């Protein structure tokens, strides 16, 4: 009886952290909605039935401006996190995405969509500058990876929702539905307390105590506050120039290079192009057994399966295993897509090959959400000490935006130059070079506190 009582007493109270994770998942839901919007509606807007005249070149700019806006969002997000905190930044970030949906609803010319997509980019940049830092700062080490994956699953659910809406609803009606969901995010983050890390950094001791008790209800609050204070006090007053000087330290330099490579590989694998042009790719692959718009919805549903798998595996098998497994699966799917177009060009019967393109799309979607998207954001929140996190998040976010912009802006010209049968082989080759890099340089951080991770990195350097 005593043993059972002891087990009950020592059980950690996690529900406030899970609630915060659900709030971030709803924020990421907007990311899925806004990114996957491209596949059904770009296909419609470039068709003869569209009420807005749009060429493929204009469609390419609608897609590419997302990543251009992301560069500015990364800067705004980093400044906001530094001065206002990660939670407040998430709240502020709900406004540009709301404005995006308003512009989409009102759009009657392509310029309106340019502005809307640019705002999506700002939203994405600010989101990636804040959400993983927020979760890393409020989460218990045993569920930190799971919370990041839960947040990323919001993106897959959003993709499924907008893919289904794209089949049955007009652009205006789907925009109204997405706008209403923005208000839910606003309400949640008005109510949630700021991260204890930020409150301590800004010398708000009483609020930090209350926030710590809210997120960690069964903790020894005095001991946790002391630990947090010791963790950040030596670097709390560093200027921006001094923070940049911190990267002279070997372990921080290695962390920055690692994160840069993680986000570069994630963006240069063709992810955005497959995501944005999926319906058009399936149409060009001569898939007719199922309507391409329906396949996009099915593929989005498999993305949720990938997120669920990642949720259960990331804290069990670790970050490195998940990332490498995800890369291998992405390579296989890209090779299958390239093979599909190669065989079509060689004159093979399209009806026999349809299953290959569908399989490739499903495998790619599952693989991306198992590791390619979740692991870099998890590692970002773990391997950098608090005083450089904002700078690193900003820098890697800008890098991701630049490589995303390069990837999406060059996709249509490359299609015209070398056709689909070679472009997917190129993406697969790029990803193959990531495997040895991850095996050698990606550290394992599962189950470790932020302090332990920093100590390990410092010792290895």
Whole-number Cα distances in Å, 60 to 30, 240, 266, 365: 21, 37, 20, 22
Residue 257 and residue 394 in one domain: yes
Task: Quote the pLDDT of residue 451.
Answer: 66
Task: Quote the pLDDT of residue 232.
Answer: 67
- Rounded CA separation 98/183 (Å): 8
- Rounded CA separation 99/190 (Å): 18
- Rounded CA separation 189/212 (Å): 16
Q: Which two tokens stand for residue 364?
A: 């790619």
CATH number for 407: 1.20.1250.20
Q: Contacts for 275-279 with beta carbons within 8 Å, 24 or more apart?
A: 275/35, 275/36, 275/38, 275/39, 275/159, 276/35, 276/38, 276/39, 276/42, 276/63, 276/408, 277/38, 277/39, 277/42, 277/63, 277/411, 278/39, 278/361, 279/39, 279/40, 279/42, 279/43
Domain boundary among 170, 192, 214: 192
Residue 442 and residue 297 in one domain: yes
Residue 40 and residue 180 in one domain: yes
Q: Which two tokens stand for residue 267?
A: 């963006």
The whole domain housing 131 covers: 13-192
Residue 163 and residue 294 in one domain: no
Task: Quote the pLDDT of residue 102.
Answer: 94
Residue 272 and residue 180 in one domain: no
Residue 272 lies in a domain: yes
Neighbours of 134 (CB within 10 A): 30
Q: HEC string of 279-311?
A: HHHHHHCCCCCCCHHHHHHHHHHHHHHHHHHHH
Question: Would you give the DSSP letter of residue 12?
Answer: -
Residue 253 lies in a domain: yes
Residue 438 and residue 376 in contact, taking contact as beta carbons nearer than 8 Å: no
Q: Is the dihedral of CA 321, 326, 329, 335 positive or negative?
A: negative
Domain boundary among 145, 161, 192: 192
Residue 407 and residue 318 in one domain: yes
Domain boundary among 122, 157, 192: 192
Residue 180 and residue 266 in one domain: no
Task: Quote the pLDDT of residue 240.
Answer: 65
Residue 311 and residue 449 in one domain: yes
Task: Quote the pLDDT of residue 8.
Answer: 42
* Count of the separate structural domains present in the chain: 2
- Rounded CA separation 34/43 (Å): 15
Residue 216 lies in a domain: no
pLDDT tens across the length of the chain (461 residues): 444 444 444 456 778 888 888 999 999 999 989 988 887 888 888 888 888 888 888 888 888 888 889 889 988 888 888 888 888 999 999 999 999 999 999 988 889 999 999 999 999 989 888 887 788 888 777 777 778 778 878 888 898 899 889 888 888 999 999 999 999 999 999 998 888 887 878 778 888 888 878 887 776 677 777 777 777 666 555 666 777 777 887 778 888 888 888 888 888 888 888 888 888 889 888 888 888 888 888 888 888 888 788 878 877 777 888 889 999 999 999 999 999 999 988 888 888 888 899 999 999 989 988 888 878 877 877 777 767 777 887 888 888 888 888 888 888 888 888 888 789 999 999 999 999 988 888 877 766 666 667 666 666 65
Residue 203 lies in a domain: no
E-assigned strands of 346-449?
A: none
pTM of the complete model beyond 0.85 = no
Residue 146 and residue 256 in one domain: no
Give the list of residues 6+ apart from residue 125 with CB closer than 8 angstroms, or none.
69, 70, 71, 72, 73, 74, 75, 76, 77, 397, 398, 401
Residue 233 and residue 216 in contact, taking contact as beta carbons nearer than 8 Å: no
Question: Would you give the DSSP letter of residue 236?
Answer: T
Residue 211 lies in a domain: no
Residue 305 lies in a domain: yes
Residue 404 and residue 67 in contact, taking contact as beta carbons nearer than 8 Å: yes
Residue 265 and residue 153 in one domain: no
Residue 20 lies in a domain: yes
For residues 436-460, one letter each, b for 16 or more C-beta atoms within 10 angstroms of the residue's C-beta and e for the rest, the string is eebeeebbebbebbbeebbebbeee
Strand, helix or coil at 412? helix
Residue 309 and residue 400 in one domain: yes
Neighbours of 110 (CB within 10 A): 16
Q: Which two tokens stand for residue 23?
A: 């709030």
Residue 413 lies in a domain: yes
Residue 310 and residue 427 in one domain: yes
- Could you report how far apart the first and last alpha carbons of the chain are, in Å? 49
């Amino acid at each position: 009886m005593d043993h059972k009582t002891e087990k009950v007493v020592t059980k950690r109270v996690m529900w406030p952290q899970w609630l915060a994770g659900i709030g971030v998942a709803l924020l990421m839901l907007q990311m899925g909605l806004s990114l996957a919007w491209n596949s059904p509606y770009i296909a419609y807007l470039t068709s003869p039935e569209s009420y807005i005249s749009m060429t493929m070149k204009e469609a390419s700019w609608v897609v590419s401006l997302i990543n251009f806006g992301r560069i500015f969002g990364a800067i705004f997000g980093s400044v906001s996190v530094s001065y206002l905190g990660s939670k407040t930044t998430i709240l502020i970030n709900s406004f540009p995405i709301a404005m995006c949906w308003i512009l989409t609803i009102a759009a009657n010319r392509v310029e309106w969509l340019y502005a809307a997509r640019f705002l999506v980019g700002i939203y994405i940049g600010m989101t990636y500058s804040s959400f993983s830092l927020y979760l890393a700062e409020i989460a218990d080490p045993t569920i930190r990876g799971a919370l990041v994956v839960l947040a990323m699953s919001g993106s897959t659910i959003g993709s499924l929702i907008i893919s289904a809406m794209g089949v049955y609803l007009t652009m205006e009606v789907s925009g109204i539905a997405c706008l209403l969901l923005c208000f839910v995010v606003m309400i949640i983050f008005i109510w949630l307390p700021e991260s204890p890390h930020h409150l301590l950094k800004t010398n708000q001791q009483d609020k930090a105590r209350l926030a710590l008790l809210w997120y960690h209800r069964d903790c020894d609050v005095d001991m946790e506050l002391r630990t947090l204070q010791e963790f950040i006090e030596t670097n709390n007053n560093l200027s921006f120039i001094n923070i940049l000087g911190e990267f002279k330290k070997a372990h921080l330099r290695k962390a920055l290079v690692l994160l840069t490579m993680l986000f570069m590989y994630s963006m240069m694998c063709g992810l955005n192009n497959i995501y944005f042009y999926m319906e058009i790719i399936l149409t060009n692959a001569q898939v007719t057994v199922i309507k391409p718009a329906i396949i996009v919805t099915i593929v989005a549903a498999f993305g949720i399966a990938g997120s669920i798998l990642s949720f259960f595996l990331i804290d069990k098998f670790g970050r490195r295993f998940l990332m490498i497994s995800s890369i291998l699966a992405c390579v296989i799917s890209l090779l299958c897509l390239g093979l599909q177009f190669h065989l079509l060009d060689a004159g093979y019967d399209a009806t026999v090959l349809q299953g290959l393109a569908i399989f490739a799309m499903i495998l790619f979607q599952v693989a991306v959400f198992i590791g390619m998207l979740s692991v870099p954001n998890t590692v970002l929140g773990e391997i950098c000490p608090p005083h450089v996190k904002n700078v690193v998040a900003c820098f890697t976010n800008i890098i991701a935006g630049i490589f995303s912009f390069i990837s999406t802006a060059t996709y249509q010209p490359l299609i015209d130059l070398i056709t689909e049968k070679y472009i997917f082989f190129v993406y697969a080759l790029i990803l193959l070079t990531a495997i040895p890099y991850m095996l050698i340089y990606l550290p394992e951080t599962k189950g470790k506190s932020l302090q332990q991770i920093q100590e390990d990195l410092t010792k290895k350097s």
